[in-house]
Structure 1
Amino acid sequence: MIDAALRLAVIVGSVRDGRLGPTVAAWLAGQATARPNLDVDVIDLADAPLGAAGPSMSVPEPVRRALGELTPRLAAADAFVVVTPEYNHSDPAALKNAIDWHNEQFHAKPVAFVSYGGISGGLRAVEHLRAVFAELHAVTTRDTISFHRAWECFDGNGQPKDPEGPAMAAETLLDQVSWWAQVLGDAKATTPYIA
């Protein structure tokens, strides 16, 4: 049984100028840090430029440095919340690239999603990511948080204009990802996961 606080990595998936991701991630991190059982690490992929090369190619020095900072943080996490917009009916390239550079760091760990966007609220990106994380032996939670017409949802202080619904959704999402992290952590402590 894991007695220490669970390490929750909140991954900001968009790196575009003018992105809403840091605002959404900061709000979610605030909800998570209010829980004594969670130790939150916000990972902004804009701070870890991985370039366009894939893991099977030679690794340029700037990418090696970025991986040197990103990989241990992902490995240390017990659970993840991916904050993602929807680009062209899918997830952002920078997010997919970061995922593709990693594999074992996600094995037998839970992944939850907070999406945002226009009318679809980023839900098509989440559906694509579920299949990707299944390939990485991760467990995705059923419930997500989705901000439809997201730019209208947050006030100037980065808080939801209608806080009650998002707060309730965050409670459910964090309950689920914490439960899975605890159960999977306990299982791995007694039986190593085989990929």
Structure 2
Amino acid sequence: MGDIRPGQILTGCTDGRWSTTEAIRAMLAKTGTPANVSITTWRVGPADAEHLVILRRAGLIGRLRLVLDRSVHGLDRTDLRRGAKPIFHRVAAVVGVENLRVWNGHAKIVVVAGPDMLITHLPSANLNRAQRAETYVTFGEPVAESPVHDLYAGIFRDLFAEELPVEFTRDTPSLNRGTAALTNRVLGNPLAQRDQSEPEHRSAWLS
């Protein structure tokens, strides 16, 4: 990723040489530790989730929060054995269900907040092993002045202010209604049907 410092923006292409998990390790070396790490991803590998938990156990990560797309409740396409558990339950067993939220989202966002600096990483890659070329934009900011960090941290603040849809605590595929409602509340989705006489809720990061 190169050397990022407060006030810098890095952008580039991975050429398949490193994963988002490996990028997070590099960020932790810059932000100082322990750092709070928040991630949204469309796809997640249980092994990558386990790697983040190892970093947390080592004291490098303080709070770990993970936001997944609702499709994680389906079976992993590479593991279709009879009785295989959905990806969500496999990841929840690793990171803890209290550290997970689910929405209807394809965004990949990594926010790392350490004592020395803040890093906001916007990769095209999911949270799984490096397999192909991916692009990224990474923002380094001082702790005292962090508009980019604040913008994206607001997504996690609003998502974790909501309860995890109850369907995700059970082995059931009936999730669309709950996760769509959650996403609409957090994003103030203009496509959501609402009573136009009611005040529109929009998260601060969309203002």
Do they superpose with TM above 0.5? no
TM-score, normalized by length of structure 1? 0.30
Structure holding more helix per residue: 1
Which structure's relative contact order is higher, taking Cα pairs within 8 Å and 6+ residues apart?
2
TM-score, normalized by length of structure 2? 0.29
